[in-house]
Amino acid sequence: MGKVVVALAAGCAVAACVVASVMVGRSVRRRRAWRRVVRLLEELEEGCATPVGRLRQVVDAMAVEMHAGLASEGGSKLKMLLTYVHELPTGKEKGTYYALDLGGTNFRVLRVQLGGQRSAIIGHDLDRQPIPQNLMTSTSEELFDFIATLLKDFVEREEKGPITSQQESRELGFTFSFPVKQTSSSSGYLIKWTKGFAVEDMVGRDVSECLQQAISRKGLDMRVAVLINDTVGTLALGHYDDEDTVAAVIFGKGTNACYLERADAIIKCQGLLTTSGGMVVNMEWGNFWSSHLPRTSYDIDLDADSPNPNDQGFEKMISGMYLGDIVRRVILQMSQESDVFGPVSSKLHVPFILRTPLMAAMHEDDSPNLTEVARVLKDTLEIPDAPLNIRKLVVNICDVVTCRAARLAAAGIVGILKKIGRDGSGGIAGGKMKVGSKSKMMRRTVVAVEGGMYTNYTMFREYLNEAMEEILGEDVAPYVVIKTTEDGSGIGAALLAASHSASPTVDIE
Ligand code: ADP
Ligand code: MG
């Protein structure tokens, strides 16, 4: 009897030891897996680091590349495209103008009534529609017929009746936010598609002509008065509202910038004569590249998997189209290298499944249990039951990716300011100034900013504003104002249609 008890006790002790060692083994494994993901997060942080010294190198590189792009055709990855927009709206514009905004996620049609006094946009009506996915890779005729149909419906709704031939001709500003080589302020041909569009028969063709033909096919009497991109529209509205506005930047699905340049600084176009002595230059800065940009293996893979490898390098680190996908790639890597996310979800292999607004929602989740993070992980990535420490880890990943994006964007903006001598350093060729002399030389400088990433993603906006101050320093920062415009990409096109239908053209000697 005693022996049985002893044997039983011994058996129990062995079983307890086995259970304990399995548990210890499991917790050791769990700790090791956790350490592995923490290491990956640290590597990501190191790879994405943007200390102010590095940002200043990016500022310099941007200014240098701008010079190179203005000096010769193909002199830089920055195309520095002439827009032939030489006068920005003054506020005296009058009348009713239409605008079309095609450039990414949505397609917008606007009707703007101008009252002839500054800031007297009497009203604007807007119709916003998502662009059907199939039209992004269709033929130019299909794409433009779709646009012209919506335009005609909109005009009929606005003018309350069917279109008749007796009505006076309407003027249209067309915002087309893809790289275009302008041949005048109202014409230009498409250089290449970006942001997921691929209507191949359009490349090399005149964009205005494609639209004008579709408008005619629909029997609408409307003239394409200006062809611009969203940055130029934003600059036009920014300048209409505030004359100190010298540059405009878009942070939406893609990213781009334009600014007002002296005509004589556009060396690649010798003898450019404009009435104002200046011209708006479309930088196409999404394609900016510099060895100073902090690049990780995730960026390299994203680029290699994209339909446009080696292109739009800056955009791929900054814009709304890509940020979510960088985060997806990091989570995939972590999931493959450890089991902290459970078995690797097949959804993690789906490109662009984690859209940037969802990433932003996770990043900005301030609930104590990070319920929004849990929801996105479960609903979008099919990672159920992620414990709190994993949800925190995901927030950290979003933070690193967005912080880098915003700080690089800020460096890009300061690069523009440096090129035009508005960063307090005396311009790209300028020497050092005496301490205290900066503020005396500084002029108020406004940069108009627009796009869903900037307006809707608070953390992106805050990191960007913070980095601007850090780079510019406390003496200069107060003179630089970032102003958000609303629907500038469209309203600006209508404003320019108004100012350009009346103003003289540009001559080249
Ligand atoms: P587009 O660039 O298509 O003209 P917008 O300027 O409106 O359009 O920007 C839309 C883009 O902004 C979306 O594609 C998305 O990437 C980004 N975005 C929109 N809302 C948010 C958000 N809440 N957080 C982060 N990014 C957002
Ligand atoms: Mg846009």
CA of 27 to the centre of ligand 2 (A): 50
What are the DSSP calls for 251-307, one per residue? ESSSEEEEEEEEGGG-TTSTTEE-SSSEEEEE--GGG---TTS---HHHHHHHHHSS
Q: Rounded to whole angstroms, how far apart are CA atoms 169 and 137?
A: 32
With contact defined as beta carbons under 8 Å apart, do 409 and 255 qualify? yes
Q: Please name the amino acid found at residue 450.
A: E
Pocket test for ligand 1, best of 249, 362, 453 (most atoms within 8 A of CB): 453
With contact defined as beta carbons under 8 Å apart, do 286 and 194 qualify? yes
Tokens representing 188? 């230009």
Predicted local distance difference test score (pLDDT) of residue 433: 45
Percentages of the chain per state (helix, strand, coil), in multiples of 5:
50, 20, 35
Ligand nearest to the CA of 251: 1
User: What burial class does residue 509 get, using C-beta atoms within 10 Å of its C-beta: 0-12 exposed, 13-18 middle, 19+ buried?
Assistant: exposed
User: Any long-range contacts for 5-10 (C-beta under 8 Å, 24+ apart)?
Assistant: none
Q: Any idea what DSSP says for residue 354?
A: S
- Per-residue pLDDT of the chain in tens (509 residues, 90 and over written 9): 455 555 556 655 656 655 566 566 678 888 898 999 999 999 999 999 999 999 999 999 999 999 999 999 999 999 999 999 998 988 888 888 999 999 877 888 998 888 866 555 655 666 788 888 899 889 999 999 999 999 998 998 888 766 665 556 799 999 999 999 999 999 999 999 988 888 999 999 999 999 999 999 999 999 999 999 999 999 999 999 999 999 999 999 999 999 999 999 999 988 777 778 899 999 999 999 999 999 999 999 999 999 889 999 999 999 999 999 999 999 999 999 999 999 999 999 999 999 999 999 999 999 999 999 999 999 999 999 999 999 999 999 999 999 999 999 999 999 999 999 999 886 443 334 444 555 556 899 999 999 999 999 999 999 999 999 999 999 999 999 999 999 898 999 999 999 887 544 444 44
Predicted local distance difference test score (pLDDT) of residue 505: 46
Predicted local distance difference test score (pLDDT) of residue 270: 81
β-bridge mates for residue 190, sequence order:
180
Alpha helices, DSSP H, located in 218-296 = 230-241
Q: Is 180 in the pocket of ligand 1 (CB under 6 A)?
A: no
Predicted local distance difference test score (pLDDT) of residue 3: 59
Q: Is 356 in the pocket of ligand 1 (CB under 6 A)?
A: yes
With contact defined as beta carbons under 8 Å apart, do 461 and 207 qualify? no
Which of 254, 396, 250, 409 minimizes the C-alpha distance to 327?
396
Residues 6+ apart with CB under 8 A from 234: 248, 249, 250, 448, 449, 450, 485, 488, 489, 492
Ligand nearest to the CA of 318: 1
Predicted local distance difference test score (pLDDT) of residue 503: 47
CA of 453 to the centre of ligand 1 (A): 5
Cβ-based neighbour number of residue 481 at 10 Å: 15
Tokens representing 482? 């970032």
With contact defined as beta carbons under 8 Å apart, do 109 and 150 qualify? yes
Residues 6+ apart with CB under 8 A from 3: none
Tokens representing 277? 């002595």
Alpha helices, DSSP H, located in 84-132 = none
> Catalytic positions, please?
108, 177, 230
Q: Is 238 in the pocket of ligand 1 (CB under 6 A)?
A: no
Atom 16 in ligand 1: residue holding the nearest Cα: 320
Predicted local distance difference test score (pLDDT) of residue 404: 98
Q: Rounded to whole angstroms, how far apart are CA atoms 245 and 447?
A: 6
Q: How wide is the angle at C-alpha 318 spanned by C-alphas 201 and 267, nearest 5°?
A: 65
- What 3-state class would DSSP assign to 328? helix
Q: Rounded to whole angstroms, how far apart are CA atoms 148 and 144?
A: 6
- What 3-state class would DSSP assign to 8? helix
Q: Write phi, then psi, for 262 (nearest 5 degrees).
A: -70, 135
Q: Rounded to whole angstroms, how far apart are CA atoms 48 and 51?
A: 10
β-bridge mates for residue 508, sequence order:
272
Tokens representing 56? 């200043």
Tokens representing 160? 């309350």
- What 3-state class would DSSP assign to 175? strand
Cβ burial 441-459 (10 Å sphere, 16+ → b, else e): ebeebbbbbbbbbbbebee
488's enclosing H/E stretch is helix 488-502
Q: Is 233 in the pocket of ligand 1 (CB under 6 A)?
A: no
Residues 6+ apart with CB under 8 A from 342: 383, 384, 385, 386
Bridge-based pairing of strands 255-262 and 245-251 is antiparallel
Q: Is 57 in the pocket of ligand 1 (CB under 6 A)?
A: no
Closest atom of ligand 1 relative to the 460 alpha carbon: 25
pTM: 0.89
With contact defined as beta carbons under 8 Å apart, do 240 and 248 qualify? no
- What 3-state class would DSSP assign to 485? coil
